[in-house]
Structure 1
Amino acid sequence: MFSIRRAWILGAIALVCASPVLANEFGRPATPDEIALWDIEVRPDGKGLPPGSGTVERGKQVFAENCAACHGDGGVGGIKDRLTGGQGTLTSATPVKTVGSYWPYATTLFDYIHRAMPYQAPGSLSNDDTYAVAAYILSLNGIVPPDGKLDRDSLPKVKMPNRDGFVPDTEFDPARLFRNQ
């Protein structure tokens, strides 16, 4: 029994030691085009937004094709997060955190959709379709009119209902995140 246990332990040690060597046999370096897909930074003020535009009408169609299966028709009732409603509930005993009630900046909505959605194929939506889905979701929340259109100039001007609900941490030092690396 002792020798079987010792063999298992030695085998596990050998596997751990061999892992870095085996890791070099899998994968490949990302191409410049693949890196460019992820190399974006959209700030709350809109800096970094790509060119393009999208309408609420187009967003409704793209949402139905790519988002409704998880988030439900109209952004409610799906197996994933609810996207609409909840305004005025954050201070209640049962807050409903949605894009319309919680998110402070519309630009971060664009950034999240562009990077992480749709769930089954993140980053696959074009810039135009991402603007359109953002416009549709914001329209469902009564933030953008039903005939609205968003682009890199108009999106940063959208005032989210909870923008003032976030208080900046005056002691936060982003440079501290990268010290000692």
Structure 2
Amino acid sequence: MSYRKAAALGLSIASLFGPAASAYDFGRPATRADIDLWNIDVRPDGAGLPGGSGTAAQGRQVFQENCAACHGERGQGAVADRLVGGDGTLATDQPIKTVGSFWPYATTLFDYIRRAMPYPAPQSLSNDETYAVVAYILSLNGIVPPTQVLNRSNLPMIRMPNRDGFVPDQEFRVIRNSRQP
């Protein structure tokens, strides 16, 4: 279909819906409840963490049921990324980037799991299940003891091994710095 035919078809369809459609006068304003459903990000300082709690023992079961098929029985990797190990490899020619070796904040692990996992059913875990899976993964990496209860009060306090070693990719810094006045 040519550009002109496509434009004519678009105008014809728009005319069926009257002037309101052409002025974008449709839908309704988003309510606070609508926005809250989508505004689920968690910042490194813990802002945005929901209520709930979980332990590694609880997380082990949730992990086996929802994560192990892709990440391996103990997070060692399978069809998806490895989550455990990699200590001391970041400065080598073969870095192993895992939660334990690479991630700078425990809160970003919670955020990622909560929003994007498990594949193919993201956002299907409860807050308690998400805290538990985070506790299990951090425990597998030796970052928290298996008995520690994680919640919104103490998760931001966890000091990840690479907290001070994490730097943005050089390409990102060049792009970001070029946009600053």
Normalising TM by the smaller chain, what interval?
0.7 to 0.9
Give the Å deviation of 1:34. Answer: 6.2
* 1:13 alignment partner in structure 2: 6
C-alpha distance 116-93 of structure 1, shift in aligned 2 (>3 A): same
Q: Is the 8 Å Cα contact of residues 50 and 152 (structure 2) preserved in structure 1? A: yes
Which portions of structure 1, spanning 4 or more consecutive aligned residues, are displaced by more than 2 angstroms?
8-18, 28-38, 166-169
The amino acid that maps onto 1:51 is G
The amino acid that maps onto 2:149 is K
How many matched pairs?
161
State yes or no: 1:154 paired with 2:149: no
Q: Is the 8 Å Cα contact of residues 83 and 98 (structure 2) preserved in structure 1? A: yes
* 2:115 alignment partner in structure 1: 115
Give me the identity figure in percent: 62
* 1:91 alignment partner in structure 2: 91
Q: Name the stretch that deviates more: 92-101 or 160-169.
A: 160-169
Deviations along 1:92-145, one digit per CA (max 9) or x if unpaired, are 010000000000000010011111111111111111000000000000101011
For the residues of structure 2 that align with 1:15 and 1:35, how far apart are their CA atoms?
36
C-alpha distance 54-159 of structure 1, shift in aligned 2 (>3 A): same
What is the SS of the residue equivalent to 2:59? helix
* 2:50 alignment partner in structure 1: 50
Q: Is the 8 Å Cα contact of residues 103 and 166 (structure 2) preserved in structure 1? A: no
For the residues of structure 2 that align with 1:69 and 1:12, how far apart are their CA atoms?
49
TM-score (ref. length: structure 1): 0.76
For the residues of structure 2 that align with 1:16 and 1:34, how far apart are their CA atoms?
34
For the residues of structure 2 that align with 1:155 and 1:143, how far apart are their CA atoms?
11
The amino acid that maps onto 1:9 is S
Structure 1 unaligned regions, length at least 5: 1-7
The amino acid that maps onto 1:107 is T
The amino acid that maps onto 1:102 is F
Structure 2 unaligned regions, length at least 5: 15-20, 22-26
State yes or no: 1:125 paired with 2:91: no
C-alpha distance 15-157 of structure 1, shift in aligned 2 (>3 A): farther
Give the Å deviation of 1:35. Answer: 4.6
The amino acid that maps onto 1:129 is E
What is the SS of the residue equivalent to 1:75? coil
Q: Is the 8 Å Cα contact of residues 37 and 123 (structure 1) preserved in structure 2? A: no
What is the SS of the residue equivalent to 2:54? strand
TM-score (ref. length: structure 2): 0.76
1:67-82 counterparts in 2 under 5 A? 67-82=67-82
For the residues of structure 1 that align with 2:127 and 2:9, how far apart are their CA atoms?
43
C-alpha distance 71-31 of structure 1, shift in aligned 2 (>3 A): farther
For the residues of structure 1 that align with 2:93 and 2:9, how far apart are their CA atoms?
49
Q: CA RMSD in A?
A: 3.0
